[in-house]
Chains A and B, each alone.
Chain A
Amino acid sequence: MSDTPTDQTVASRRRRVPWWLWTLVAIGAVVGLVAAIGGFRDVPITALPEVQLGAAHVGSEVRTVVSRAYLSDTQPTNGREADAGSVYLIVEASAESMSDGPSLLDGDLIRVFAGEQVTPAVDPSHVLELRTGEPSEFLQPGVPVDLAWVWAVDTDSLSVGDEVFIGIFDEFAIYDHPIWGDDSFSRPTPVARVITSIASHETLAGTTP
């Protein structure tokens, strides 16, 4: 007995792979490809390009020159004293917006690995403009400013001479969303590192960043 045309159509529909399965296969293939070429692997800090202390790093919108890292009982310029049992780890750098407007990356520009207490996940307690001692609010285009990122740490957690890894972070503009029409920025990510040892405030006294 031969199939009627209706039976053939039904059989054909049964044989056809549903569209959602093709979509899943396509997504799986893309994810698999990304995983295969290492897209989901953590980027080790040693993979970041190294910048020397005092050398300039030019990111997508900010030019950064890390000048020094040191321990001090007081914050620079404003002289605020650390609590008893604490000391300030301070990283100083010059930063300048290279874009055509103010950059708000100043707060996220620098993070450090230092001892057990300070990791890149720990935000600085203050980001100060060294000229005024006031919190930094933005970076003006074409105007370099000296900034200090400040972390309060236990006195015995870090010592002068300890090695410190200073990460320079960057963010990338995502232009002109077709619907919202608004520019936005990616999450700040580390793009370079500076390796130095921690100095003491006393030995730096009188030197400029």
Chain B
Amino acid sequence: MRPGIRSLLAGVIVLLAGLAVATAPSIDRVVGPFELGGRLGDTVDARLYSATVTRVELAGELDLGYGQDGFSYTPPSVASEQVFVVVDLRLESVVDKVLVQYSELVIGGVTYRVAPFLPGPSILNPPAGPGIPVEGTLVFEVPSSVVESDAAAHARLHIKSELTPQLESVPVFALDLGGLDVERVRVVEPATIPADIR
């Protein structure tokens, strides 16, 4: 092969490789999660668990008095200089016990992770196995200015058991936090199995 043609061919190959990289879908599009949409009150059935958001409130302080019955360093109440978004959730796992400690609240493109300090038993580590629903509370601490912004009307709650779920279904609830009053103190109860199925 003539040197000129060889150089031209090499250039074309490099250009094609660059084009392939530039136009390749992102990793999220290839192996990202399948988001299953829902709203307040809906039950969303994912592959590994189903989730229902039953109530959403805002609070400036959490009463965690139940935690003092067991072993916990967390004091009986925790106050925020910002705002707690308190989400009551019903969760039922399908295959195995599921931990939802990677749940996230996304408001205006900013991601807030679920607060880890709730004493056990909390819904982050549900006290029941597959087929048994558990009711509990997720808490997200977010800046006050965010819940007062227009973006708060379009908050999205991702119920996640992995940090970066891949090729896995994930319930995503559209929540309207706009116009909610901020309670001074919200009593948080431990995660429990609902009385109607006991």
Tell whether A pairs with B. yes
Confirm or deny: B75 has a beta carbon within 8 angstroms of a beta carbon on chain A. yes
Chain B positions 109-133 with a Cβ under 8 Å from a chain A Cβ: 109-113, 116-117
Q: Are B143 and A134 in contact (CB under 8 A)?
A: no
Q: If A132-B75, A142-B146 touch, does A100 touch B28 (CB 8 Å cutoff)?
A: no
Interchain residue pairs with CB less than 8 A apart (13): A78-B73, A129-B117, A133-B73, A134-B116, A134-B117, A137-B116, A140-B113, A141-B111, A141-B143, A143-B80, A143-B82, A180-B27, A181-B26
Shortest Cβ gap from B182 to chain A (Å): 15
Residues from chain B with Cβ under 8 Å of A44 in the complex: none
Interface centre among A134, A143, A176 (most CB of B within 10 A): A143
> Does B142 sit at the interface, judged by CB under 8 A?
yes
Closest to A99 in B: B110
Is B141 engaged at the interface, CB distance under 8 Å to the other chain? yes
Answer yes or no: A131 CB below 8 A from chain B CBs: yes
Q: B21 interface residue, CB < 8 Å from A?
A: yes
Asked if A140 and B142 sit within 8 Å, CB to CB, the answer is yes
A127–chain B nearest beta-carbon distance, Å: 13
| Contact status A181-B117, CB under 8 Å | no
Q: Are B113 and A142 in contact (CB under 8 A)?
A: no
At the interface, is chain B mostly helix, strand, loop or mixed? Answer: mixed
Nearest-neighbour CB distance to chain A for B146, whole angstroms, equals 7
B12 within 8 A of A: no
Partner of B113 from the list A78, A129, A138, A180 (CB cut-off 8 Å) is A138
Q: How far is the CA of A179 from the CA of B109 in the complex (A)?
A: 25
Q: A141 touching B110 by the CB < 8 A rule?
A: yes
Residues from chain B with Cβ under 8 Å of A180 in the complex? 27
Bits for B47-88, please: 1 = Cβ < 8 Å to A, else 0: 000000000000000000000000001110011111000000
A100→B111 contact, CB < 8 A: yes
| Residue count of chain B within 8 Å CB distance of chain A | 26
Query: Does the CB pair B117–A100 fall under 8 Å?
Result: no
The residue that B141 contacts in the complex, of A143, A178, A179, with Cβ under 8 A, is A143
Of residues 86 through 113 on chain B, the ones whose CB sits less than 8 Å from some CB of chain A are 109-113
- Beyond contacts A132-B75, A141-B112, A143-B141: 5 other A-B pairs, Cβ-Cβ < 8 A, are A129-B117, A133-B74, A142-B82, A142-B142, A181-B26
Q: Which residue in chain B gives the minimum CB-CB distance to A129?
A: B117
Q: Is A116 an interface residue (CB 8 A)?
A: no
Q: Once the chains are docked, how many angstroms separate the CA of A101 from the CA of B81? A: 19
Find chain A residues with CB under 8 A from B73 CB. Answer: 77-78, 132-134
**Contact between chains at B113 and A100 (CB < 8 Å):** no
| Partner among A129, A131, A141, A181 whose Cβ is within 8 Å of the Cβ of B27 | A181
Within 8 A of B (CB), among A96-149: 100-102, 129, 131-134, 137-138, 140-144
Given the interface pairs A132-B73, A132-B117, A134-B74, the reply to whether A182 lies near B111 with Cβ below 8 Å is: no
Bound together, the chains give a CA A78 to CA B111 distance in angstroms of 29
Complex: chain B residue closest to A79, CB-CB = B73
Complex CA gap A142/B142 in Å reads 7
Residue from B79, B80, B112 whose CB has the most chain A CB atoms within 10 Å? B112
Kindly list chain B residues whose C-beta atoms are within 8 Å of the C-beta of A143: 80, 82, 141-143
Q: Of all chain B residues, which has the CB nearest A139?
A: B113
